[in-house]
Structure formats: structure tokens, C-alpha cells
Structure 1
Amino acid sequence: MIPDRRLILLGAAALLSGCAGGEADRMPRPMARNQGAVGRVDRVQPGSFPNIPFADWTDDEPEYVLYPGDEIEIATPTAPELTRTLRIGPDGRVSLPLVGQLMAADRTLAELESAASGAYASQLVRPVVEITLKTAGPLKVWVAGEVRTPGVLDMNGDIDAYQAVVQAGDFLPTAKPQEVALIRRGPGGRRMMRVIDLRPRRGEVVALRRGDLIYVPRSNLGELANFFTQIRNALPIGFNYTINGQYQNF
């Protein structure tokens, strides 16, 4: 995992180098476009943005990870009186009898079972824990960049990328809707990026998944490097990704 300080220095170096050149040289350029079946689709390769290590894009569904707002049952078959149905709090934690607070968000069910079993090891002779997802919380996505009201949005039901932008107040006049970045958690938690065309009546329809991040640039996608250095510590729980298998914020 790249240390925080190194990422910040890399971002600062990119900005300083941009001051010396023109707009075209300000940030790393994305890869050339590939023509998709509907609209234009860019599949950004890992080396496209040196300061932002993206994985190759895939449409495969990653293993489900828990989010704030999810309702789960934490069952203890060897001590049924401790079984609880709990909702994961905004801080990503749940409160368990005997052991107190436990981080649940950004963990798979199996990972949380292991963590809860370890927490109960000092309290139970047989610390067996079984966790079931009862109800998934709201679909949360992050919309940032050149929109009127950027931030985290709760989506009810299925929604596509353009609908999310509309809920965020629509594009500003300075936006570049034909070159919008969609950042998504892929298998293993690694972040991926593709470029989508969201021009009204001309762009493509892209269904969103939980935890997707939409970034609308002002000029070119090189702005992503600067964006990540600014918000990497501001993302809420549930928007974490991994680099080389280790979780961290942008």
C-alpha cells in the first residue's frame, strides 16, 4: 500500500508540473477511447494515471461487503441468548453483547464472522458466530466535480449514472459530460475506472452499483489526480477501496 504521504507528494508534484506547462500538459492523459456498442466507452488501463493505480475494468460482481444501514443477524448458536438483529451504524460499527463495538462496514460476511468469533473467544467456550444479511441499506453513490450539489446520495431502487447526476443538481455549464469518470469497486476491492458519455439524449445508459463514484470533470480527466489528493480522507465509510489487497481511502 502506498503511504499517505507519498500519495500527497505525488499529487503535489503533478500540480506543480502543471503550472509549468499548458492546459494539455497539466495532468496525465487518459488512454485513447474505444468505441462501445452504445455511446463511447473508455476502459482505462492501470498505467493511464500514474498517481492513481486503477485495476483493469470488469463487469464481474465482487463479493458483497457490508455498508452502514445494512441490517444483519449475528447469531451465536452456542449462546442463543446473545443472538441479535442489528443495523450497522453511520460509523460502520455494531454493538455486540459482552464485547461492545465491532467494525462491520467494508467487511464481507465471512470477514465479520471471523472478527466476531475472535471477539467472543474470551467470553465463550465455543465462540461460533453466524452472520446473515437481513436487509440491505440504501444504494449510496458519490457524485463529485462539476455538478450543482456534489456529495453522497441515497438512491431508491435501480438508477443509472445520468439520473444520479440529475439528483446531484445536474451538470454545471463548465462540465464536460461526454467524459465522465465512473469509479467502481471491483473483485478483491480494487478500484476500476471507465469513462462514460452522459450527454443528454446522446450518451449511454450505465446502471450504477452500490458505492460507485461519479466524477464530472471541467476540462479533462487529468483533474482526477488533483481530486483524489483533496478528498482521499473525506470519503465516508462504504467508499473505501483497496490497493494491492489492502483497504484504504482514495
Structure 2
Amino acid sequence: MGFDMPRVCLAFLAFALALAGCAGPRAVPPPLAAAFDEPYVLATGDRLRINVFGQPNLSNSYTVEADGRIAMPLVGRYEVVNKTPDQVRTGLEAKLKTGFLRDPNVSVEIEGYRPFYILGEVNNAGQYPYVVGMTAQNAVAIASGFSPRAVKDRVELTRRHGDRVYKAEVPLTYPVRPGDTITVNERWF
């Protein structure tokens, strides 16, 4: 009685896949971890509250438009995408100082964040409003929980930072940022 090589290989492959499915969440790879911890930068869909001290006509809410700019009186179309709120504040003060105001004092706050997205094995995949302090587990709860076939101890997180896109498998306790895409994978067994 000899070995049936195709059957042995198939059985070994099925066993290896079963073991891989039992593996716990892996740590975020070191090069990606640094990118995931970068300071928050603005992108399309964020809403800013800009206050110019002593200038009520300039103080208002501004939405980052599709071209990455806001439209502000005296300043015109000002690019804010890929900048931190503090960088926007500094830039607006410099713009207003050149001929409009002697010593502008500007504050920039994020009034509303762009949404996050959740896909895959959840009950209600889609786009949802971001909540400050959110984790991947909170995002799953917002999407009405896991479907019966979901991998329930980790998710795949995709984050855009500048012109680069980072993707990593993360534990459910990992923090989510506005604009992130969370994918809940399907388990095989």
C-alpha cells in the first residue's frame, strides 16, 4: 500500500491553513507602526472652525473641498490638505499679515472629521461618521457587529498618509483615524 501523494499534500495544506487561521493577531510591522502614529493631517471632507480674533467676518466654519482647499475671505482658496491644523493656522496668519491685518491671531480647530469605512464580514458595511478615540472594535460595533463568518480577533486597516497608502493587520484595540478603511476578513473554519 503506497502513499497517494496528491492526497497527502492536500491534507497537509488543509492542516496548515487551519493552523494559520488559529493564529492570534500579529503586531503592526515596525515600518508601518511609525506611519500609523503620525500626527493628524487634514484631507477632503474635514470641517474646520477658523477664528480670527477681532474679525467676525473671517471667523467661520470651512469644509476641505475636493481640491484640498478652503475658500476664505481675504485669503481666497487656501490649500490645507496634508497639513496639520497648526500648520494651517501658521499659514493663514502669514497670508493675513501680508497687507490685510497688522497682527492676526488665528485659531484652527477640527469641527468635524471625515468618515471612516468598514467592509467585509460585518452586519452593516459602509461609511460612518468618525468618533474621537475610536478603536477597531468600536468601528465593528457601529457597523452592527461581526457577521457569523468573521475573523473576530483582528482586522485589516488601510490608512492614507500624504500620497502613500499603508495597510496592516491590527488587533481590535488599535486606534482608528478619520478616513481609515477597516476590512473584517472571513474565517475559513
Same fold (TM over 0.5): yes
| 1:107 maps to 2:75 | no
Q: Which residue of 2 aligns with 1:84?
A: 58
Deviation string, structure 1 residues 94-141 (Cα, Å, up to 9, x no partner): 3322343434344223256437856986xx278976642235424742
How many residues align? The count is 163
* Preserved contact between residue 139 and residue 156 of structure 1 (Cα < 8 Å): no
* Preserved contact between residue 148 and residue 168 of structure 1 (Cα < 8 Å): yes
Q: Which residue of 1 aligns with 2:156?
A: 181
* Preserved contact between residue 74 and residue 96 of structure 2 (Cα < 8 Å): no
Q: Which residue of 1 aligns with 2:135?
A: 160
Q: Secondary structure at the match of 1:163?
A: helix
The one-letter code sitting in structure 1 at the alignment partner of 2:62 is: I
Structure 2 unpaired stretches of 5+: 1-19
Structure 1 unpaired stretches of 5+: 1-31, 46-54, 198-203, 221-250
Structure number with larger C-alpha Rg: 2
| 1:149 maps to 2:124 | yes
Query: 1:1-250, aligned counterparts within 5 Å?
Result: 40-44=25-29, 55-58=31-34, 61-66=37-42, 68-74=46-52, 81=55, 84-89=58-63, 91=65, 93-108=69-84, 109-110=86-87, 113-114=90-91, 117=94, 124=99, 131-138=106-113, 140-184=115-159, 190-197=164-171, 204-218=172-186
* Cα distance in 2, alignment partners of residues 179 and 103 from structure 1: 36
Deviation string, structure 1 residues 51-90 (Cα, Å, up to 9, x no partner): xxxx532387423323512312356xxxx65872222326
Q: Which residue of 1 aligns with 2:16?
A: none
Q: 1:165 to 1:143 in 2, by over 3 A?
A: same
Q: Which residue of 2 aligns with 1:17?
A: none
Scaled by the length of structure 1, what TM-score is found? 0.47
Cα deviation for residue 182 of structure 1 reads 1.6
Cα RMSD of the aligned pairs, angstroms, is 4.2
Scaled by the length of structure 2, what TM-score is found? 0.59
* Cα distance in 1, alignment partners of residues 61 and 131 from structure 2: 18
* Cα distance in 1, alignment partners of residues 102 and 40 from structure 2: 24
Percent identical among aligned pairs is 22
* Cα distance in 2, alignment partners of residues 179 and 172 from structure 1: 14
